[in-house]
Chains A and B, each alone.
Chain A
Amino acid sequence: MTQARLIEVETAILSKNDSYAEGNRRVLNALEVFTVNLVSSPGSGKTTLLCETIRRLGDVPLAVIEGDQQTANDAERIRATGARAVQINTGKGCHLDAHMVGHALDRLRLRQGSFLFIENVGNLVCPAAFDLGEDCKVAILSVTEGEDKPLKYPDMFTASRLAILNKTDLAPHCDVDLDLYAANLKRVNPDIEIIALSARTGEGMDRWIDWLQARRDAKRAV
């Protein structure tokens, strides 16, 4: 006669991802690489922002990991700037996970003190739960998406250290309330920093570049 018994498990469902993320973080910290996980809905301008960021950073060593369900388009756009990029295709997957990023790291051979930009799959929901080993998440929201998006998708904005309000060049055409964007972002995350910019015209890009350099320098100083 078999007897039912109870087994304590007490294990986080994402514990496997979290341990890969810790492995990535050890590698990245040893190399003093400042790593940003860029998250947003599709088309908010992540790749455009990255291309412009790479152009402005000039000779600073950096690399990019591109995550998309399909195509190598975004990695090709990055490589066209002269930067190194690895494309990850997630197929049906709605987010990057730390295991995929670990493989990409093996291929990138990062240099000491560089920047690593990880462009996540365009999706305002799922990537929030998956630590990749990054220093921080940066959420990109374009001004045409609507002021209520932080309230509708709070997880992503709570998980991010910085929100970039992109496409400010379109604001005059679309009746956009930038203050309301800021208020809604602060409502879901009182700590979030906000930079409004246009990756198209370059307006506000200096603040983003300064932010990146200050963060990387702070990381190297510890």
Chain B
Amino acid sequence: MHEMSLVEGMRQIIERATADPGIAQVTRVRVEIGRFAGVETAALTFAWDVVMRGSKAEGAVLEIIDLPGSALCYDCGKIARIDSRLDPCPHCGSGKVMPEQGDEMRIKDMEVI
């Protein structure tokens, strides 16, 4: 999808968080990406290297933490972990499930020197 614009958003957040002149460099950034966020890891990493050039995070390691997806079953009322949006409810087999979690895209933390 739009990994380039996601990373541009990340750059802005990182620049704001590292505005302190006492911070010379960002060495590692950890992001949490939900299973259903539609983010292509390879494209994100590629865009990362390009977009971060000239910032304090140039050359920083981008670490991607995958968050699982979960869905609410409309038939049995349980919330269960699912791996694909098309998976049926693992408890009752119903196909009427609504994703609850898994579209997260969040910068968790970063290591700076």
Pick the contact of B1: A7, A17, A126, A151 (CB < 8 A).
Answer: A126
Nearest B residue to A93 via CB reads B5
Whether, in the assembled complex, B93 has its beta carbon less than 8 Å from a beta carbon of chain A, the answer is: no
Pick the contact of B112: A7, A14, A158 (CB < 8 A).
Answer: A7
* A5 and B111 contact, CB distance less than 8 A: yes
* A11 and B13 contact, CB distance less than 8 A: yes
A-B pair count, CB < 8 Å, reads 95
Task: Identify whether the interface residues of B are mostly helix, strand, loop, or mixed.
Answer: mixed
Task: Give CA–CA (A155, B86) in the complex, Å.
Answer: 11
Task: Give CA–CA (A94, B4) in the complex, Å.
Answer: 11
Task: Give CA–CA (A191, B74) in the complex, Å.
Answer: 10
* A15 and B13 contact, CB distance less than 8 A: yes
* B99 and A190 contact, CB distance less than 8 A: no
Whether, in the assembled complex, B91 has its beta carbon less than 8 Å from a beta carbon of chain A, the answer is: no
| Residues of B contacting A9 in the complex (Cβ-Cβ under 8 angstroms) | 13-14, 17, 107-110
* B106 and A13 contact, CB distance less than 8 A: yes
Beta-carbon contacts under 8 Å, A94-146 to B? 94-95, 97, 125-126, 128-129
Whether, in the assembled complex, B62 has its beta carbon less than 8 Å from a beta carbon of chain A, the answer is: no
Indicate whether A13 sits within 8 Å of B6 (C-beta atoms), given known contacts A2-B24, A128-B38, A129-B1. Answer: yes
Task: Give CA–CA (A9, B31) in the complex, Å.
Answer: 10
* B106 and A190 contact, CB distance less than 8 A: no
Chain B, 12-33, contact with A by CB distance < 8 Å: what is the 0/1 string? 1110011000001001000100
Instruction: Tell me the minimal C-beta distance from A160 to chain B in angstroms.
Output: 13
* A125 and B38 contact, CB distance less than 8 A: yes
Whether, in the assembled complex, A12 has its beta carbon less than 8 Å from a beta carbon of chain B, the answer is: yes
* B37 and A129 contact, CB distance less than 8 A: yes
Nearest B residue to A184 via CB reads B86
Whether, in the assembled complex, A149 has its beta carbon less than 8 Å from a beta carbon of chain B, the answer is: no
Nearest A residue to B12 via CB reads A16
Nearest A residue to B85 via CB reads A154
Whether, in the assembled complex, B96 has its beta carbon less than 8 Å from a beta carbon of chain A, the answer is: yes
Instruction: Tell me the minimal C-beta distance from A69 to chain B in angstroms.
Output: 13
| Residues of B contacting A11 in the complex (Cβ-Cβ under 8 angstroms) | 13, 17, 106-107
What are some 21 contacts across the A-B interface (CB < 8 A)? A4-B113, A5-B111, A6-B111, A7-B110, A9-B108, A9-B110, A12-B104, A12-B106, A15-B13, A16-B12, A93-B2, A94-B2, A95-B2, A125-B38, A126-B1, A126-B2, A129-B37, A155-B36, A155-B38, A155-B103, A190-B74
